[in-house]
Amino acid sequence: MAGAKDKSKLGYRILLGAVVLVLGGSMLLYLVPQTPDTGQVSTDTLAKIGDETVTVADVRLQLDQMEQRNQASKIMEPFYAQRILTELVFQKEIEYEAKRLGIGVSDEERANRIRQYLPTVFNGGAFVGMDRYSAEVQQRFQLTVPVFEELIRQGLLEEKFRKLVTDGISVGPEELQEEFRNKNEKVTLDYAMIKPEDLEAKITPDDAEIKAAYEKNKSSYQVPEKRVVRYALVDVNQIRQSIQISDDQLKIQYQQNIQQYMVPNRVHVEHILLMTVGKTDAEVDEIKKTAEDVLKQAKKGTKFEDLAKKYTEDPGTKDKGGDLGWIIQGQTVPEFEKTAFSLAPGQISDLVRTQYGFHIIKVLEKETAHTKSFDEVKESLRAPLMLSEADKRASGTADQLSAVIRQSNKVSLDDLAKQYHLTSGETRPISATDPLIELGNSKDVKDEIFRLRVGDLSLPIRTDRGYVVLSVKQVLAEHLGSLDEVREKVISDLKRQKSTELARSKADDLVKRLKAGEKFDASAKALGLEPKTSEPIPRSGTLSGGVASGKQLAAAFNLKAGDVGAPLSLGQNWLVYRVAEKQEPNPADFDKQKKELTEEALQNKRSLAYEAFRTSLDTRLKQEGKLKLMPDKLKSFGSLG
């Protein structure tokens, strides 16, 4: 059973995604079927582990699934691609090591885990049958039975390795005392942040300074090759504005997709969940008492959302005050569904017990099954139809342009623009790294600009704005920039340099004033800084807003109240602080916290040990030649690789 920390990391939703519980601490990904290995590395291969491979297609499948579940955005694709590759490689490494050591998962172990997480497929002790089992797996997890059972096997296998690595770990008395000190020794700080970026606007270099800075760093002011491009654009938005969509067309669309507008019986609910999965009977009794206390608070009028944020153990809804959104019949476990659909809006349920634990349910809204009328949805149909028709017309024009240009790419761009009613224009000189928003900021457009010869025409290229035909008018070679050409860059660099120096100077000045006995607030304001006072911070905590961690502020814990710390460098920024108060740990609290401290210290040590195992396994397989990585092929997902 994965720990609470692992569950939170996986970000699952209790009612809709319990399958992730079987994946273990780091198995974040759905199973990717592998093609038979031929012993050769294909051009699509990102990693080879023994006889197994991880391919670009494997990573792409994972990314597509994440994007469909709104767990990843296109802009973050390079980051997630790297993360997915790391996890898929580790899956294969675990499988390789398991074969080497003779470690496996028995059918009985897998069956017991299925029983634990899908109790509804057993009626008493009897299996309900393959059809019901398949339907349950598909409904709950959107997976086939073979994929679901393979995920369970992978999760159990990793649990065995985790157990092997961490079972012998213990926490000694000195470690507990250190953990106790880290949590209970606290300081309250008066502090001020000095940020160079806040100072830049106040810096105005004169001409002499600008010229001197340019002469000193002249070699760093190379101007890259730039190109001036003429273009003719098949503008989809312009086409769309000329399109009229009749009600008859909208009605046809409505009738063809009538099922989309059928709203089932549904209910908008919030819930508070106290989990009982894997707990002993005695622990369940204690959890029930807590749940009953929370229920009393809810019934007495305490804000439900506040209670959920405090008590619920469903990490998917905790930050949203327990809001599960709209649920339909057949989407959740029977006990939860029966209660949710029996309540009126505004009502709060009694305790509801499911295989996950004790729920308290509040209904916000209810809708009876109905089909939305044409009048309700017709305006939502209009824009997609207009865009579809505009895309169709733009694509048709692009095909005609392609045919003409293929006959001769020396045809006049002006003639094409006039004949096909295109928007034409000319860009400023642009380098390979300059944005080109006016043409849709497409990578394909940029690549084509720096591939074309002067005077040649490109074929139409699809962008966010439509289709564009390009012609390079002029190429400006790379050269050492004159002061006039790079003046703005010189000024920017100079302001950054001077603001960095000024930030350090202000930090030193503030420390001198404080050590001379001046009051913190007055000294900070005199230097144009904003003075703040923190909450009490433990060594394991952070300064509000994540400004600095307790570890970065370690020196503060060795000072007395009233002492001023040395200026602390935080990247380009500087932090100046004075210890306002110091709170020493109360030895009497040690015994009260001992159990919790032991669990946290053990969890931390186990996590570190398992990460060390992962690193060691990875290193060993590389040294043995059993692991080969080709991460450069990740560039197809973006800039990482």
Range of the domain at 115: 4-169+617-637
On whether residue 211 sits in a domain, the answer given is yes
| Domain limit, last residue, from 336, 368, 400 | 368
DSSP, collapsed to helix, strand or coil, labels residue 286 as: helix
Q: Are 2 and 24 in contact (CB under 8 A)?
A: yes
Q: What is the distance between the alpha carbons of residues 474 and 368, in angstroms, rounded to a whole number?
A: 65
On whether residue 251 sits in a domain, the answer given is no
CATH number at residue 333: 3.10.50.40
Residue 509 and residue 395 share a domain = no
Closest CA to 89 of 167, 27, 14, 141: 27
Burial label for 459, CB within 10 Å (0-12, 13-18, 19+), is middle
Place of tokens 């309700």: 376
Residue 563 and residue 522 share a domain = yes
Residue 233 and residue 207 share a domain = no
> Residue 221: what residue type?
Y
Q: Which residues contact 403 (CB under 8 A, 6 or more apart)?
A: none
| Domain limit, last residue, from 314, 342, 368 | 368
DSSP, collapsed to helix, strand or coil, labels residue 627 as: strand
Residue 319 and residue 357 share a domain = yes
Residues of the chain with pLDDT under 50: 1-41, 639-641
Residue 164 and residue 51 share a domain = yes
DSSP, collapsed to helix, strand or coil, labels residue 381 as: helix
- Residues forming beta bridges with residue 274, ordered by sequence position: 358
pLDDT number for residue 261: 82
Q: Which residues contact 298 (CB under 8 A, 6 or more apart)?
A: 272, 304, 307, 348, 360, 362
Residue 502 and residue 568 share a domain = yes
- Residues forming beta bridges with residue 328, ordered by sequence position: 266
Note the pLDDT tens digit of each residue in 70-121.
655 666 777 788 888 899 999 999 999 999 999 999 988 998 888 887 877 7
Q: Which residues contact 131 (CB under 8 A, 6 or more apart)?
A: none
Note the pLDDT tens digit of each residue in 454-475.
999 999 999 888 999 999 999 9
On whether residue 423 sits in a domain, the answer given is yes
CATH number at residue 515: 3.10.50
| Domain limit, last residue, from 338, 368, 398 | 368
Measured from the Cβ of residue 512, the count of other Cβ atoms closer than 10 Å reads: 12
On whether residue 232 sits in a domain, the answer given is yes
Residue 426 and residue 289 share a domain = no
Q: What is the distance between the alpha carbons of residues 436 and 447, in angstroms, rounded to a whole number?
A: 12
Residue 364 and residue 289 share a domain = yes
- Residues forming beta bridges with residue 363, ordered by sequence position: 269
Burial state string for 171-193 with b = 16 or more CB within 10 A and e = fewer than 16 = beeebbeebbbbbbbbbbbbbbb
Residue 240 and residue 281 share a domain = no
Q: What is the distance between the alpha carbons of residues 193 and 438, in angstroms, rounded to a whole number?
A: 39
Q: Are 591 and 532 in contact (CB under 8 A)?
A: no
Max Cα distance, the chain (Å): 89
On whether residue 388 sits in a domain, the answer given is yes
On whether residue 569 sits in a domain, the answer given is yes
C-alpha distance from residue 345 to each of 154, 307, 359, 362, 364 (Å): 43, 18, 17, 8, 5
| The token pair that represents 499 in the structure block | 């603001």
Measured from the Cβ of residue 259, the count of other Cβ atoms closer than 10 Å reads: 7
Closest CA to 561 of 581, 584, 577, 583: 581
pTM: 0.54
pLDDT number for residue 69: 63
Closest CA to 372 of 472, 266, 259: 259
Give me the DSSP letters along 304-362: HHHHHHHH---HHHHTTTTEEEEEETTSS-HHHHHHHHHSPTT-B---EEETTEEEEEE
On whether residue 527 sits in a domain, the answer given is yes
Q: Which residues contact 311 (CB under 8 A, 6 or more apart)?
A: 272, 274, 290, 294
pLDDT number for residue 28: 30
Closest CA to 92 of 141, 46, 148: 46
Note the pLDDT tens digit of each residue in 177-198.
988 998 899 999 999 999 999 9
On whether residue 592 sits in a domain, the answer given is no
Q: Which residues contact 393 (CB under 8 A, 6 or more apart)?
A: 239, 243
| The token pair that represents 24 in the structure block | 């273990």
- Number of independent structural domains in the chain: 4
Which secondary structure element, helix H or strand E, spans residue 155, and what is its range? helix 145-166
534 DSSP assignment: P
Q: What is the distance between the alpha carbons of residues 562 and 572, in angstroms, rounded to a whole number?
A: 26
Note the pLDDT tens digit of each residue in 231-279.
999 999 889 888 888 888 888 988 888 888 887 888 999 999 998 887 8
Q: Are 527 and 238 in contact (CB under 8 A)?
A: no
pLDDT number for residue 435: 86
Residue 11 and residue 160 share a domain = yes
Residue 500 and residue 470 share a domain = no
Q: Beta strands 568-570 and 573-583: pairing type?
A: antiparallel
Residue 47 and residue 154 share a domain = yes
| The token pair that represents 588 in the structure block | 């009497």
Q: What is the distance between the alpha carbons of residues 549 and 538, in angstroms, rounded to a whole number?
A: 9
